[in-house]
Amino acid sequence: MDAVSEESLRRALAEKQSAIDAQGNAVRALKASKADKSELQGAIDALNALKLGKSSLEKKLQAAVTGGGPAAEGALTREAFRQAVGNTLERRLFYIPSFKIYGGVAGLYDYGPPGCAVKSNVLSFWRQHFVLEENMLEVDCPCVTPEEVLKASGHVDKFTDLMVKDEKTGDCHRADHLLKDFCNEKLQKDLTITAEKSQELKHVLAMLDDFSSEELGAKIKEYGITAPDTKNPLSDPYPFNLMFQTSIGPSGLIPGYMRPETAQGIFVNFKDLYYYNGNKLPFAAAQIGQAFRNEVKLLPSDAKISPRQGLLRVREFTLAEIEHFVDPEDKSHPKYLEVENLEFLMFPREEQMSGQSAKTIRLGDAVSKGIVNNETLGYFIGRVYLFLTRLGIDKERLRFRQHLANEMAHYAADCWDAEIECSYGWIECVGIADRSAYDLRAHTEKSKVALVASEKFAEPKEVEKLVITPVKKELGLAFKKRQKNIVEALEAMNEKEAMEMKSSLESKGEVEFFVCTLDKYETIKKNMVSISKEKRKEHQRVFTPSVIEPSFGIGRIIYCLFEHCFYTRPSKAGDEQLNVFRFPPLVAPIKCTVFPLVQNQKYEVVATAISRSLTAAGISHKIDVTGTSIGKRYARTDELGVPFAITVDSTTSVTVRERDSKDQIRVNVEELAAVMRSVTEGQTTWTDVWSRFPHHSAGSTNESED
Residue 431 touches ligand AMP, criterion: CB under 6 A: yes
Nearer to ligand AMP, 427 or 524 (CB): 427
Instruction: List the one residue out of 637, 635, 604 whose CA is nearest residue 702.
Output: 635
Would the CA dihedral through 234, 408, 422, 289 be positive or negative? negative
Q: Which of 134, 161, 176, 295 binds ligand AMP (CB under 6 A)?
A: 295
Q: How far is the CB of 292 from ligand AMP (least distance, A)?
A: 9
Q: Which of 429, 440, 614, 654 binds ligand AMP (CB under 6 A)?
A: 429
Answer whether 511's CB lies under 8 Å from 505's CB.
yes
- The answer to whether the CB of 346 falls within 8 A of the CB of 366 is yes
- Least distance (Å) from ligand AMP to the CB of residue 310? 9
Q: How far is the CB of 298 from ligand AMP (least distance, A)?
A: 9
CA 222, CA 220: separation in Å to the nearest integer?
A: 6
Contacts of 94 (CB under 8 A, 6+ apart): 88, 111, 112, 114, 115, 118, 562
The residues pairing with 163 across neighbouring beta strands, listed in sequence order, are: 174, 238
Contact range with ligand AMP by CB under 6 A, out of 41-49, 387-395, 423-431, 558-566: 423-431
Q: Which stretch binds ligand AMP (CB under 6 A): 38-46, 114-122, 142-150, 552-560?
A: 552-560
* Of positions 165, 293, 403, 435, contacts ligand AMP by CB under 6 A: 293
- In SS3 terms, 398-460 reads as EEEEECCHHHCCCCCCEEEEEEEEECCEEEEEEEEEECCCHHHHHHHHHHCCCCCEEEEEEEE
Task: Tell whether residue 419 is a contact of ligand AMP (CB under 6 A).
Answer: no
CB of 416 to ligand AMP, least distance (A): 11
Task: Tell me the torsion sign for CA atoms 170, 172, 175, 181.
Answer: negative
**Closest approach of ligand AMP to the CB of residue 289, in Å:** 12
Q: Does 421 bind ligand AMP (CB under 6 A)?
A: no
Q: Which residue in 82, 383, 443, 556 binds ligand AMP (CB under 6 A)?
A: 556
Cα–Cα dist 311/95, whole Å = 9
The string of DSSP letters for 622-641 reads EE----S-HHHHHHHHHHHT
Choose, by CB under 6 A, the member of 21, 428, 495, 506 that binds ligand AMP: 428
Number of CB atoms found within 10 A of residue 380's CB: 27
Residues 250-279 that bind ligand AMP (CB under 6 A): 261
For residue 407, state whether it binds ligand AMP (rule: CB under 6 A). Answer: no
Q: Which one of the spans 396-404, 428-436, 537-545, 592-600 is the region binding ligand AMP (CB under 6 A)?
A: 428-436
Residues 307-346 that bind ligand AMP (CB under 6 A): 313-314, 317, 319
- Decide whether 134 or 316 has the Cβ nearer to ligand AMP: 316
DSSP secondary structure, 218-234, as one string = HHHHHTT---TTT---B
Q: Please report whether residue 174 would count as binding ligand AMP according to CB under 6 A.
A: no
> Nearer to ligand AMP by C-beta: 348 or 555?
555
What's the closest the beta carbon of residue 425 comes to ligand AMP, in angstroms?
14
How many binding residues for ligand AMP (CB under 6 A)? 15
Kindly report the backbone phi and psi dihedral angles of residue 661, in degrees, each rounded to the nearest multiple of 5, phi listed first: -85, -20
DSSP H helical segments within 128-212, as ranges? Answer: 147-152, 155-158, 175-189, 195-207
Q: Which stretch binds ligand AMP (CB under 6 A): 425-433, 458-466, 582-590, 671-679?
A: 425-433
Nearest-angstrom CA–CA distance, 74 and 460: 73
By CB atoms closer than 10 A (0-12, 13-18, 19+), residue 98 is middle
Per-residue contact flags (x/-) with ligand AMP for residues 595 to 614, judged by CB under 6 A: --------------------
Q: How far is the CB of 346 from ligand AMP (least distance, A)?
A: 17
Q: What minimum distance in Å lies between the beta carbon of 435 and ligand AMP?
A: 11
- Classify 299 as helix, strand or coil: coil
Contact assessment for residue 228 and residue 178, using Cβ atoms and an 8 Å cutoff: yes
Chain contacts with ligand AMP (rule: CB under 6 A):
261, 293, 295, 313-314, 317, 319, 428-431, 551, 553, 555-556
